[in-house]
């Protein structure tokens, strides 16, 4: 080959590598790029209201319950399963905790404990149905969710509980150095689950089960127990989210958690685009929640109707799942 031909070939190869490198960076950091892009857009569109600490604090506070719920959903997604009951479980936990406080005069600590116990039990029920009865997680969690909704209805009879203890409401009103307590609780839950998945034996087992349950079982991983624990953690997260929601609303209201299911999964699938491993991760889900909350707040500031936010969440979930499917097919092709 002539010297000129070699130079042409080298130039073409360089362009291909550069294009491939740019695509890899875009894929690896697409969530961060989307977050920065949305932030810049709303900052330019509404600088006087969007670029304030009060707005930042409001976004973090309003998204605290969803952050907790999305983190719990992510734990189940890591093991390769789905939990469609978390919204109903949140409603059950809220009804169980608030009712004993409103009707029977139980203390705030006891009410929170009852809510957490209800969420954990519902999660364990889903885990047993999936791990040992071998019911597909879609069906099992829908069934558990239906049962949870029925129990919630039996407890509340569609009533709205008000007049909660001032100590319970302080969960939503307390601030630590101007940071709302709900934000700190949500960050603590997210950090705890992150450490659990990244640094513990359970986290390694959960990743192994998500990659290949049969191979994990052959290597001695207690697959059934890992699945039950993952669903239990999702139930606990739903219960914590319920406490955060009811303390902020100063009341219990029917179907409290059903509106959180779609944005929780949208955030979790958005988190897949953080990093190059195509793995569900707690940090990605947390950033995904903040992105959705920022977009919702920005649209509200731009006087867009409420249905636009729901439309954006649905589109985001569809695009996130589609992009993951394309990347996975590309990875297999390579």
pLDDT tens figures, 115-145:
999 999 999 999 999 999 999 999 999 999 9
Q: Which runs of consecutive H residues, i.e. helices, occur in 180-222?
A: 181-199, 201-211, 213-218
Does the structure show a pLDDT above 90 at 245? Answer: yes
| pLDDT value for 243 | 95
Write down the pTM of the prediction: 0.87
| Rounded Cα distance, 100 and 104, in Å | 5
Summarised one tens digit per residue, pLDDT across range 263-309 is: 899 889 888 877 655 788 999 999 999 998 998 898 888 888 878 87
| pLDDT value for 8 | 43
Task: Calculate the alpha carbon distances from 199 to 30, 72, 133, 196, 236 in Å.
Answer: 26, 17, 30, 6, 20
| pLDDT value for 306 | 78
Residue 252: band (very low, low, confident or very high) from pLDDT cuts 50, 70, 90:
confident
| pLDDT value for 146 | 95
Summarised one tens digit per residue, pLDDT across range 141-162 is: 999 999 999 999 998 887 777 7
| pLDDT value for 204 | 95
What is the distance between the terminal CA atoms of the chain, rounded to a whole angstrom?
29
| pLDDT value for 276 | 57
| pLDDT value for 9 | 45
Percent of the chain residues topping a pLDDT of 70 = 86
Q: What is the mean pLDDT of the chain?
A: 85
Q: Of 6-10, 62-66, 111-115, which gets the smallest average pLDDT? A: 6-10
Does the structure show a pLDDT above 50 at 16? Answer: no
Tell me if 32 sits within 8 A of 287, measured CB to CB: yes
Chain CA centroid to CA 322, Å: 19
Structural element, H or E, at residue 179: strand 179-180
| Rounded Cα distance, 162 and 159, in Å | 10
Does the structure show a pLDDT above 60 at 91? Answer: yes
Residue 45: band (very low, low, confident or very high) from pLDDT cuts 50, 70, 90:
confident
Does the structure show a pLDDT above 90 at 23? Answer: no
Tokens, residue 94: 């809220």
Q: Which residue has the higher pLDDT, 6 or 162?
A: 162
Nearest alpha-carbon partner for 97 in 78, 80, 117, 74:
117
């Amino acid at each position: 080959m002539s010297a000129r031909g070699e130079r042409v070939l080298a130039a073409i190869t360089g362009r291909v590598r550069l294009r491939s490198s740019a695509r890899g960076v875009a894929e690896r950091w697409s969530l961060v790029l989307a977050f920065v892009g949305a932030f810049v857009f709303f900052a330019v569109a509404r600088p006087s209201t969007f670029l304030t600490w009060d707005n930042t604090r409001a976004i973090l506070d309003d998204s605290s319950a969803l952050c907790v719920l999305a983190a719990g959903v992510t734990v189940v997604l890591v093991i390769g399963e789905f939990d469609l009951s978390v919204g109903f479980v949140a409603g059950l936990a809220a009804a169980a905790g608030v009712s004993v406080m409103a009707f029977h005069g139980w203390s705030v600590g006891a009410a929170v404990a009852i809510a957490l116990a209800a969420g954990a039990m519902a999660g364990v029920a889903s885990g047993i149905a999936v791990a040992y009865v071998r019911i597909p997680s879609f069906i099992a969690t829908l069934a558990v969710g239906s049962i949870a909704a029925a129990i919630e209805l039996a407890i509340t009879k569609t009533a709205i509980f008000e007049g909660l203890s001032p100590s319970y409401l302080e969960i939503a009103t307390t601030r630590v150095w101007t940071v709302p307590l709900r934000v700190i609780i949500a960050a603590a839950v997210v950090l705890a689950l992150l450490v659990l998945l990244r640094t513990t034996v359970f986290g390694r087992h959960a990743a192994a089960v998500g990659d290949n349950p049969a191979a994990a079982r052959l290597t001695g991983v207690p697959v059934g127990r890992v699945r039950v624990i993952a669903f239990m953690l999702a139930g606990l997260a739903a219960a914590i989210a319920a406490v955060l929601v009811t303390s902020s609303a100063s009341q219990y209201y029917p179907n409290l958690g059903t509106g959180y299911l779609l944005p929780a999964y949208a955030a979790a699938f958005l988190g897949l685009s953080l990093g190059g491993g195509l793995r569900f991760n707690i940090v990605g889900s947390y950033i995904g929640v903040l992105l959705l909350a920022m977009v919702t707040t920005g649209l509200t500031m731009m006087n867009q109707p409420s249905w636009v936010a729901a439309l954006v969440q649905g589109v985001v979930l569809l695009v996130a799942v589609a992009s993951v499917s394309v990347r996975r097919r590309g990875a297999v092709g390579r």
